[in-house]
Amino acid sequence: MSDPGRPIAEEELHAFVDDQLAPDRHPAVLRYLQEHPDMAREVAAWRAQREALRAAFAPVADEPIPPRLGLERLIQDRLGRRGVAWRIAASIALAFTLGGAGGWFLHGGLHPASAVLTLMAQQAIANHVVYTADRRRPTELGAQQRDDLARWVSNRLNHKVAPPDLSADGYAYIGGRLAATPDGPAGLFMYDGPDGVRLTVFVLPLHMDETLPLQQVDVAKVNGWAWIDKGIGYTVVGRLPTPELRRVADLVRRQYGGAT
C-alpha cells in the first residue's frame, strides 16, 4: 500500500523504535539506517531511552494493588453507601445486571457475597419504595387472589413460588405483583404489619447456581436482608428495626426451604 521507494520520514523512524512501523517499510528503513550512521545512532539512542523508561517504571506495575484501589471494594463503596443518590444507584444498576456483574464477582475468585446481594437488593428496595407508597393500589392482585398470583408469578419466573404465610407473626398478606428488573421479572409480595408498617418479600431468579448466605443490605436508608438459594435471590425489605426484620427474613427463608 505504501511506496517502498519513497524517502524515509522522521515519523517512520519513531514508528520503527516503537514497533509501530508498517511491515512493508521495514526494509527501506533498515537500508536508510545503514546508509546514515548518524541517524542510526540517533535511533539507537531513542530505543535505549524507551527501554530505560520501561525499566524505570516497571516496578510500579509489579507492586500489589493497594486495597483502596481494588475494584470490588470500589463497587461496594458506591453501592453500599447509606443515602446514596438514587440517580447514581440507578446508573450503576443499569450497567450491573446481575447476570453480568454477578458472574464477574462469583467467578473472578473474589469475595462475592455482599456486592451481589447489594445489587439484587437495589432492585428489591426500588420496588418496595415505589409500590408500598401507593395507598390506593399497592398490589396487582389482592389477598383473595393469592393462588392466581402464585400461578402468574411462577409462570413468569419459570420457578414455582407462592407468597409466604407470615400471619402467625403479625404480618398480614395484602397481595402481590410482578416486578421489573434488569434481570427479568421478579415476584413482589406485600404484608401489613403492626403500626401500619409495610413489608415486602422479593423473589428474583438469577440465572446462576450459587447459594449465598443471609446478609443485611441497605440502600438509601431502607433496610433489607438478602440471600441467594440455589440461584434464586430473595430479599425481605421493610422499615423495621434490624433484629425484627432479621427474624422475619429467617421465617421467610424457612418457608422457602433454605437452611437457617
Partner 1 sequence: MTVSGVLTRIEACIPALRRYAAALLRNREDADDLVHDCLVRALDKLHTRRDEADVRAWLFAIMHNLFISQLRRARVRPAGEPLDESHDAAASLRPDQESHLQWRDLVRALNQLPVEQRTVILLVSVEDLSYAEAANVLGIPIGTVMSRLARGRERLRRLTEEGEVRPALRRVK
Residues near partner 1, by CB under 8 A? 10-11, 14-15, 18, 20, 42, 44-63, 65-66, 68-69, 71, 74-75, 78, 88, 91-92, 94-97, 100-101, 103-104, 107-108
Give SS3 for 132. helix
E strand residue ranges, the chain: 141-142, 172-181, 184-192, 198-205, 212-219, 222-229, 232-238
CB of 155 to partner 1, least distance (A): 28
30 or 71, CB closer to partner 1?
71
The C-alpha cell of 70 is what?
Answer: 481494588
CB of 103 to partner 1, least distance (A): 5
CB of 116 to partner 1, least distance (A): 12
The C-alpha cell of 235 is what?
Answer: 430479599
- Calpha distance 185→156 (Å, rounded): 7
38 or 195, CB closer to partner 1?
38
Give SS3 for 124. helix
DSSP letter at 250?
A: H
CB of 18 to partner 1, least distance (A): 6
- Calpha distance 218→225 (Å, rounded): 8
CB of 60 to partner 1, least distance (A): 4
The residue to which cell 422475619 is assigned? 248
118 or 132, CB closer to partner 1?
118
| Nearest alpha-carbon partner for 225 in 198, 205, 243 | 243
CB of 87 to partner 1, least distance (A): 10
- Calpha distance 42→33 (Å, rounded): 10
Question: C-alpha angle with apex 157: 156 to 158, nearest 5 degrees?
Answer: 90
9 or 130, CB closer to partner 1?
9
Phi and psi angles of residue 18, each rounded to the nearest 5 degrees, phi first: -90, 10
8 or 197, CB closer to partner 1?
8
74 or 130, CB closer to partner 1?
74
Phi and psi angles of residue 156, each rounded to the nearest 5 degrees, phi first: -70, -35
